[in-house]
């Protein structure tokens, strides 16, 4: 692909349940196949020279699902980071987690932390997994951190500017810029509590394809659509100016 690639692409990986249902398979089969898509998209994003790739893997609202499904999703994610660690590291990928992964079982935390520490100095693709993540909760946590700074760092109200606040969000803490493009698969057209602050000027692209069927060609189509957009950030294009 010759077009410009966005610096940060975020993906709402949706449609695993429907994929399985269509095939009369258990939901977990959809989640499992979804991991295959994720692997392919990481590799592809890295090859395209995308700097940041963020995937929405488990939301704060996904706890509403059955115990069995929740456990199954966590197991898949943890075994993914475990099994793929060597490959990710070899490809110079740096892995981050957005969200409260400390709510996961002890051995899962250990394996996640091993992945984070092994890849922390890598300089290639920055791959962020939003896991037990919710945009609203992230903003509330940031607010609490601000209040703490007001107490301990003598921060004044005037000092609470956008740039400072962004630094308090989980993306800001990890120096992850706002997403340029957010892709959601499976035809749903909503954010479902994903990157609420950071998505202010993201381009949104919706694909009808269910996540387990999503290929690198589908990803390229989304990038193509992104490249046709005119980003204005509230201003005017040169040609519009009169
Ligand atoms: C996305 O697939 C994965 C998670 C939310 C964890 P879903 O499981 O939401 O799939 P659908 O929306 O039911 O098809
Ligand atoms: C959003 O998908 C969360 C993830 C993809 C992890 P959901 O399937 O949970 O979203 P809703 O419930 O359709 O809004
Ligand atoms: Mg869904």
Query: What are the tens digits of pLDDT across the range 139-191?
Result: 999 999 999 999 988 888 888 999 999 999 999 999 999 999 999 999 999 99
Q: Residue 194: pLDDT band by 50, 70, 90 thresholds? A: very high
User: Best substitution site from 186, 189, 208, 214 to test ligand 1's pocket, by max atoms within 8 Å of Cβ?
Assistant: 186
Comparing 19 with 241, the larger pLDDT belongs to 19
Ligand 2: list residues with CB < 6 Å. 12-14, 56-59, 62, 188, 190, 192
Q: Is the CB of 13 under 6 A from ligand 1?
A: yes
Q: What is the pLDDT of residue 136?
A: 98
The percent helix, strand, coil of the chain (3-state, each to 5) is 50, 15, 35
Q: Is the CB of 38 under 6 A from ligand 1?
A: no
Q: What is the pLDDT of residue 52?
A: 98
Asked whether the beta carbons of 77 and 105 are under 8 A apart, the reply is no
Q: Is the CB of 62 under 6 A from ligand 1?
A: yes
Closest ligand, as measured to the CA of 34: 1
* pLDDT tens digit sequence for 30-88: 999 999 999 999 999 999 999 999 999 999 999 999 999 999 999 999 999 999 999 99
Closest atom of ligand 2 relative to the 17 alpha carbon:
8
How many whole angstroms separate alpha carbon 203 and alpha carbon 236?
A: 17
How many whole angstroms separate alpha carbon 140 and alpha carbon 118?
A: 30
Q: What is the pLDDT of residue 237?
A: 77
Write down the residue that tokens 């500017």 correspond to.
161
Closest atom of ligand 1 relative to the 20 alpha carbon:
14
pLDDT at 242 over 80: no
Domains of the chain in start order, with CATH, are: 8-132+178-230 (3.40.1180.10)
Asked whether the beta carbons of 132 and 194 are under 8 A apart, the reply is no
Provide the 10 A C-beta neighbour count for residue 217.
9
Q: SS3 of 76, please? A: helix
User: Best substitution site from 11, 12, 18 to test ligand 1's pocket, by max atoms within 8 Å of Cβ?
Assistant: 18
User: Best substitution site from 27, 66, 99, 188 to test ligand 2's pocket, by max atoms within 8 Å of Cβ?
Assistant: 188
Closest atom of ligand 2 relative to the 188 alpha carbon:
13
Q: Which residues are catalytic?
A: 14, 62
Spacing, Cα 23 to ligand 1 middle (Å): 15
């Amino acid at each position: 692909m010759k077009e410009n690639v966005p610096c940060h692409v975020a993906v709402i990986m949706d449609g695993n349940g429907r994929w399985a249902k269509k095939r009369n398979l258990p939901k977990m089969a959809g989640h499992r196949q979804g991991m295959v898509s994720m692997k392919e998209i990481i590799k592809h994003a890295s090859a395209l020279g995308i700097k940041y790739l963020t995937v929405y893997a488990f939301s704060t609202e996904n706890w509403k699902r059955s115990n069995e499904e929740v456990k199954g999703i966590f197991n898949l994610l943890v075994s993914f980071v475990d099994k793929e660690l060597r490959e990710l590291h070899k490809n110079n990928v740096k892995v981050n987690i957005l969200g409260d992964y400390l709510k996961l079982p002890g051995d899962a935390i250990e394996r996640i932390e091993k992945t984070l520490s092994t890849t922390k100095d890598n300089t290639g693709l920055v791959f962020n997994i939003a896991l037990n993540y919710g945009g609203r909760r992230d903003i509330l946590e940031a607010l609490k951190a601000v209040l703490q700074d007001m107490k301990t760092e003598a921060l004044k109200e005037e000092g609470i500017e956008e740039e400072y606040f962004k630094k308090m969000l989980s993306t800001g803490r990890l120096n992850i810029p706002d997403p340029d493009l957010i892709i959601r698969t499976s035809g749903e057209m909503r954010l479902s509590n994903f990157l609420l602050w950071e998505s202010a000027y993201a381009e949104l692209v919706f694909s009808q394809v269910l996540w387990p069927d999503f290929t690198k060609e589908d990803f390229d189509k989304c990038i193509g659509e992104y490249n046709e957009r005119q980003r204005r950030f509230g201003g005017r294009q040169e040609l519009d100016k009169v």
